[in-house]
Structure 1
Amino acid sequence: MPKISNKGINMPASPIRKLTPFADKAKKEGKKIYHLNIGQPDIETPEVMLNALKNIDFKVWAYTPSEGTASYRSKLAEYYNKLNYNVEPTDILVTNGGSEAITIAMQACLNPGEEIIIPEPFYANYNGFACSSDIVVKPIMSYIDNGFALPPIAEFEKLITEKTKAIAICNPNNPTGYLYSREELDALKELCLKHDLYLFSDEAYREFCYDGRAFISPMHLDDLEENVVVLDTVSKRYSACGARIGCLITKNKELYQVALKFAQARLSPSLEGQIAGEAAVDTPDSYFEAVSKEYTARRNTLVEGLNAMEGVFCPNPGGAFYVVAKLPIDNADVFCQWMLEEFAYESETVMMAPATGFYSSSDAGKNEVRLAYVLNQQDLKKALTCLQKALEVYPGRVS
């Protein structure tokens, strides 16, 4: 029998999706499941985006340019320049989702065996992207006790070697919801300049910042043009996860040309996704204002409900739509599976993502879970009731 590749064997399973078979079985048994495991918003996609799809009128469903259509990239530049990014359409490479943008960035910037430093916990698929790109993730621990703030720069310095090529951040962060400050980004800027490193900035949740706090991008920092790579997607901003359209943005012309070669190798991003994405740029501000208000209320409901439970601690995130909570449990992977297989309260249960999958360090996050507040407040309250009842009877509860 032919052997599977080492890369295939080492490819990590998604902590977000690996419990799906247990959820499917629970549904067949008649349980209602509150899905807090995945960042699939229930917010409606903007009407202007859906209308663009409904009104598509072409005779041939053709390839588009590998870098994306000129009209979409021009429209994207218009969007980013309202945010003071000062970019040209020629700085933007359209990708099949944010996932491809991240993979292309890793492959274009790092050689096999070179290293990228990422504060953890981090988006679980970074491990998978790094594995497929033959690069090494060097995690640097952030802690729930201070809300997962950026680790001290001195801790970054300890990890930097001749193999270090880049630092990656997600801002606001998935899975923690932490929103990086101007001071933290300035510190990263000085570090990247000092050691000549790329700074990857995953900005999928840019629009979701709460309590009047401002979003700061590395694109807003002076003297960092050759180092910054912004990675973005329409998935979360417009509640359009199935569109699979993202982009890579860099003012580094040499890097752009290399990234374009990877884009050419996969031919092109989808035509219909770009049509919808182009229309989405005209989404009125009122849409985002309403969404932000709704997510703020959901966040408050979830965080307050979690912290009201005995033995539970959950920081209040500044952005995105996730929280990481510490629970009085022995093993998050076991607990999350137990919730689906063995527990129900009034025929309902909750699906969560074990936080272990968002860490690269072994044994980290064993008593933590990630929850996405992508359900309405009534469902969140029911999910909280289920969770509280589960914690009261879970065999592996710890004090």
Structure 2
Amino acid sequence: MPAVSRKGLQMPESPIRKLVPFAEIAYKANKTVYHLNIGQPDIKSPTKAMEAVAHHSLEILAYTRSEGSQEYREKIAAYYHKNNIPATANDIIVTTGGSEALLFAMGTIADTGDEIIIPEPFYANYNGFATASGVKIVPVISKIEDNFALPPISEFEKLITPKTKAILICNPGNPTGYLYSKEEIQKLAAIVKKHDLFLVSDEVYREFTYDGSKHYSILEEEGMEEYGIIIDSVSKRYSMCGARIGCLVSKNKMVIKTALKFAQARLSPPTFAQIASEAALDTPQSYFDEVIEEYEDRRNTLVKHLQNIPGVKVGVPKGAFYCIVELPVKNSDAFAQWLLEKFDVDGETIMVAPAAGFYSSPGVGLNQIRIAYVLNKKSLVRAVEILKIALKQYKD
């Protein structure tokens, strides 16, 4: 029988989606499942975006330019200017989600066997993108005891080799919700300049910051024109995960020229999704103000109730809508499966994302989970009640 590729065998499963078959078992048993496992916002997508697709005037659903339509890229550039990021339409390549932007970035800056340093825990799919690109992830561990703050720069320096091509961060972070300060971004900018590396910043949660904090982009930092690459997406900003539209942004002309070749190879991003995403850029600030207020309220509710559970430790997020929770269990994979297969409280249970998949270091994060607070407050409180009861009953 023909064999599949070694690369395919090495592709990691999604820690977010691999438990779906067990959730299906729970559904068949007529259980209510509170989904804390996936970052699918329950906030309505902007009306302008939905109406733009519903009332389009296209007669032919044609290809667009490989880098995305000129009109859309100009509007994205205007959005960035409002956020202190000096990008032009020519600095932007529209992609099929932030995922494709990350794949284009890795393909552009790294060859097979090259290394990218990433603070962990990190977005689980970075592992998959690296495997697909033949890139080696070199982790530098951030700790829940430090609320997942940037590790000391000396720890990054220890890991830099001739194979190192970039440092990759997610800001604010998925899965930690950590928001890097301006000073931390400046430290990273200094080290990539010193060692002639790229700094890739996944900034898809830019709008979601709390406690009066403000996001500071790598391209706001002076002198980062040749070193900085932004990954962005409409998925979470406008609650438009299904649109699958993102972008890669860089002032480095060679990066854009090279990434464009990857874009040409897949022809073009989806037309209807670009129409919706372009219209979404006209969303008033009041939309974001309400969304951020809602998420901050949810965060406060979730953290307060989690902190009341004996033996539980929680990282307090400053952005995005996730937090890492350390549980008094040995293996959160087994615990998460047990929650769906064998446990319920009056016909209700929860689905969480085991956190080990958000690390690349073996054996790290085994007793942690990621919670996405994308449910309303009442549901979050109930979900934490269920978690508390489950931890009392569960035996490793």
TM-score normalized by the length of structure 2: 1.00
After superposition, what is the alpha-carbon deviation per residue over 1:69-115, rounded to whole angstroms, capped at 9, x for unaligned?
Answer: 00000110110110011111000000000000000000011011000
Matches of 2:212 and 2:138 in 1, distance apart? Answer: 33
Aligned position for 2:34: 34
Secondary structure of residue in 2 paired with 1:117: strand
Query: Any residues of structure 2 matched to 1:323-342 within 5 Å, and which?
Result: 323-342=323-342
After superposition, what is the alpha-carbon deviation per residue over 1:175-222, rounded to whole angstroms, capped at 9, x for unaligned?
Answer: 000000011111101100000000000001000000000100101101
Query: Any residues of structure 2 matched to 1:222-261 within 5 Å, and which?
Result: 222-261=222-261
Matches of 1:294 and 1:174 in 2, distance apart? Answer: 19
Shift of the alpha carbon at 1:56? 1.3
Secondary structure of residue in 1 paired with 2:167: strand
One-letter identity of the residue aligned with 1:242: G
Matches of 1:276 and 1:15 in 2, distance apart? Answer: 30
Matches of 1:80 and 1:223 in 2, distance apart? Answer: 17
One-letter identity of the residue aligned with 2:160: I
Secondary structure of residue in 2 paired with 1:14: coil
Aligned position for 1:56: 56
Matches of 1:302 and 1:375 in 2, distance apart? Answer: 10
Shift of the alpha carbon at 1:58? 0.8
After superposition, what is the alpha-carbon deviation per residue over 1:326-353, rounded to whole angstroms, capped at 9, x for unaligned?
Answer: 1111111100111001110010000000
After superposition, what is the alpha-carbon deviation per residue over 1:137-176, rounded to whole angstroms, capped at 9, x for unaligned?
Answer: 0011000001000000000001000000000000000000
Matches of 1:158 and 1:338 in 2, distance apart? Answer: 40
Aligned position for 1:289: 289
The share of aligned pairs that are identical, in percent, is: 56
One-letter identity of the residue aligned with 2:340: L
Aligned position for 2:183: 183
Superposed CA RMSD: 0.5
Matches of 1:116 and 1:378 in 2, distance apart? Answer: 41
Aligned position for 1:209: 209
Shift of the alpha carbon at 1:268? 0.2
Matches of 1:308 and 1:50 in 2, distance apart? Answer: 41
Please tell me whether residue 11 in structure 1 is matched to residue 11 in structure 2: yes
Please tell me whether residue 347 in structure 1 is matched to residue 347 in structure 2: yes
Shift of the alpha carbon at 1:316? 1.3
One-letter identity of the residue aligned with 2:136: V
Matches of 2:57 and 2:295 in 1, distance apart? Answer: 35
Query: Any residues of structure 2 matched to 1:7-156 within 5 Å, and which?
Result: 7-156=7-156
Secondary structure of residue in 1 paired with 2:313: coil
Matches of 2:236 and 2:164 in 1, distance apart? Answer: 30
Matches of 2:231 and 2:22 in 1, distance apart? Answer: 33
Matches of 1:234 and 1:148 in 2, distance apart? Answer: 25
User: For structure 2, which runs of at least 5 residues remain unmatched after alignment?
Assistant: none
Shift of the alpha carbon at 1:134? 0.5
After superposition, what is the alpha-carbon deviation per residue over 1:269-302, rounded to whole angstroms, capped at 9, x for unaligned?
Answer: 0000110111011100000000000000100111
Secondary structure of residue in 1 paired with 2:314: coil
Secondary structure of residue in 1 paired with 2:392: helix
Secondary structure of residue in 2 paired with 1:132: helix
One-letter identity of the residue aligned with 1:62: A
Matches of 1:359 and 1:67 in 2, distance apart? Answer: 32
One-letter identity of the residue aligned with 1:170: C
After superposition, what is the alpha-carbon deviation per residue over 1:121-141, rounded to whole angstroms, capped at 9, x for unaligned?
Answer: 000000000000001000110
One-letter identity of the residue aligned with 2:321: F
TM-score normalized by the length of structure 1: 0.99
Matches of 2:191 and 2:86 in 1, distance apart? Answer: 23
Matches of 1:304 and 1:88 in 2, distance apart? Answer: 43
Secondary structure of residue in 2 paired with 1:94: strand
Secondary structure of residue in 2 paired with 1:27: helix
Q: Which moved more, 1:152-161 or 1:50-59?
A: 50-59
Matches of 2:343 and 2:318 in 1, distance apart? Answer: 32
Shift of the alpha carbon at 1:53? 1.2
Matches of 1:88 and 1:343 in 2, distance apart? Answer: 53
User: For structure 1, which runs of at least 5 residues remain unmatched after alignment?
Assistant: none
One-letter identity of the residue aligned with 1:248: L
Aligned position for 1:315: 315
Matches of 1:21 and 1:301 in 2, distance apart? Answer: 30
Shift of the alpha carbon at 1:315? 2.0
Aligned position for 1:385: 385
Please tell me whether residue 218 in structure 1 is matched to residue 243 in structure 2: no
Matches of 1:140 and 1:133 in 2, distance apart? Answer: 20
Matches of 2:46 and 2:4 in 1, distance apart? Answer: 43
Matches of 1:387 and 1:43 in 2, distance apart? Answer: 24
Aligned position for 1:370: 370
Please identify runs of 4+ aligned residues in structure 1 that moved more than 2 A: none
One-letter identity of the residue aligned with 1:66: S
Matches of 2:11 and 2:316 in 1, distance apart? Answer: 32
Matches of 2:123 and 2:227 in 1, distance apart? Answer: 22
Aligned length: 396
Matches of 1:292 and 1:214 in 2, distance apart? Answer: 12
Matches of 2:53 and 2:394 in 1, distance apart? Answer: 47
Matches of 2:340 and 2:143 in 1, distance apart? Answer: 28
Aligned position for 1:159: 159
Matches of 1:338 and 1:21 in 2, distance apart? Answer: 13
Matches of 1:75 and 1:125 in 2, distance apart? Answer: 28
